[in-house]
Amino acid sequence: MADFIYKRALLKLSGEHLAGDQGYGIDPKVITGLANQIKSIKDKGIELAITVGGGNIFRGMAASTEGMDRSQADYIGMLATVMNALALQEALERAGVFTRVQSAIAMQEIAETYIRRKAIRHLEKGRVVIFAAGTSNPYFTTDTSAALRACEINADVLLKATKVDGVYDSDPMKNPSAERFERISYLDVLTRELHVMDSTAISLCMDNKLPLIVFSLLKEGNMEAVLCGEPVGTTIY
């Protein structure tokens, strides 16, 4: 057992991460690598739930700015998250990790429906629970559904995996002298409009005192380091 400082974590994965360099869909190499990383921390004793986005398949927000009805676009996005959840489940089980997928939109033939108490029971039994279909409501992002589920299952921490290694004072892709925060308050994230997650998600974490850590999954071993409390990424408190 590693020296994890958290007992139960919720990992928010972006859909884009699953696409890898191909930029669209699910890259089998990426998802297999991810499953192996998760297996290695799972074996060290963490209780882990995952919320996955769907942007590698469909972006509701982008489609709505192009004129598509926002609710309809969001429902399509929610279905995309179900595809990602099933792919992740398959990769995890291939790696030897027990999983359950719970969908916020009932589709019993392919996944359990979300039931909070059952999700907690699965976690206690050592299964990775993958939450799909967001909150089942349009106008809510998968970041918000990750924050909501993390609160509901009494997670000790919300881990947001991104392409960059934390939160910066400006976009590090555009500004080479951008500075990374080691720690920053929720309120500063909101007032400085740092776009870590949407404001609904940040507010939910803030109101429920749920620590949020933004880190990069691209570096092997990062997730374990974060769970051990090492200064990786940015902690929002």
Q: In the complex, which residues of this chain contact ligand GTP (CB under 6 A)?
A: 100, 108-113, 121, 125
Alpha-carbon torsion (61, 30, 220, 218), positive or negative: negative
User: In this complex, which beta carbon is closest to ligand GTP, that of residue 30 or of residue 50?
Assistant: 50
Minimum gap (Å) between residue 191 Cβ and ligand GTP: 43
Closer residue to ligand GTP in complex, CB, 100/160: 100
> Whose structure tokens read 């919320």?
51
Q: Are strands 234-236 and 183-184 parallel, antiparallel or unpaired?
A: parallel
For ligand GTP, the closer CB: 36 or 113: 113
What is the nearest approach in angstroms of ligand GTP to the Cβ of residue 124? 9
Residue 36 vs residues 41, 94, 143, 198, 221: alpha-carbon distances, Å: 9, 9, 24, 29, 11
Cβ contact 146:196 at 8 Å = no
Shortest spacing between CB 112 and ligand GTP, in angstroms: 4
**51 three-class SS:** strand
CB of 104 to ligand GTP, least distance (A): 13
Residue with Cβ nearer ligand GTP (117 or 174):
117
